[in-house]
Amino acid sequence: MKTLIKSKKEYHQVMASIYTLMNKGENKLTKPELSKLAAMTNAAAYFEELTLGLKYKTMCIDKVLFDLPGKITLKMEDGRMIISPLKYFPDLQKLSVDKRKKHTIVDDRTILFTYSDAVYHLEDFIGLEANWRKR
């Protein structure tokens, strides 16, 4: 499925569809829904970069690690590391380390955990959660 967004109105409709799917939780999505989610997030990122001038490629999540007790570490593609206490993410704190490791990185900035219905964005880990909610 190749999606091309042609207007801001269409972009907002696609974003609403993305958040609807993400809020279902990764473990509740069917394979066609996962494919649709991937196509829509790629289209949205392309539109954001070309039309809105947003350059998200500078901060892309490469890996999510749980190697420090009580912490979540985001390894960024450019080599930076973001380390946050799990106490700020109670849904993750409740999960075993093995269950935390079962996740998917979507659109380079969003993490869906198989055993949690919560949706986490890069901004959540750097104290800017209100920013993604405005988009």
Inter-CA distances, 8 with 69, 130, 131, Å: 43, 21, 18
CATH architecture of 58-134: 2-Layer Sandwich (3.30)
pTM reported for the whole predicted model: 0.56
- 103 versus 46: which is more confidently predicted? 103
Distance CA 85, CA 70 (A): 6
What residues does each domain of the chain span? Answer: 8-56, 58-134
> For 75-97, what is each residue's pLDDT tens digit?
998 788 999 999 999 999 999 99
CA–CA distance, 90 with 42 (Å, rounded to integer): 29
Query: Looking at residue 57, what is its pLDDT?
Result: 52
Could you tell me the two tokens for 95?
A: 């999960």
Distance CA 75, CA 125 (A): 12
Share the mean pLDDT of the chain.
84
What is the tens place of the pLDDT at every residue in 66-79?
A: 999 999 999 998 78
- Looking at the predicted structure, is the pLDDT value of residue 133 above 50? no
If phi > 0 it is left, if psi is from -120 to 50 it is alpha, else beta; for residue 29 that is: beta
* 122 pLDDT higher than 80: yes
pLDDT digit string, tens, across residues 3-50 = 688 888 998 899 899 889 888 887 788 989 988 888 888 888 888 777
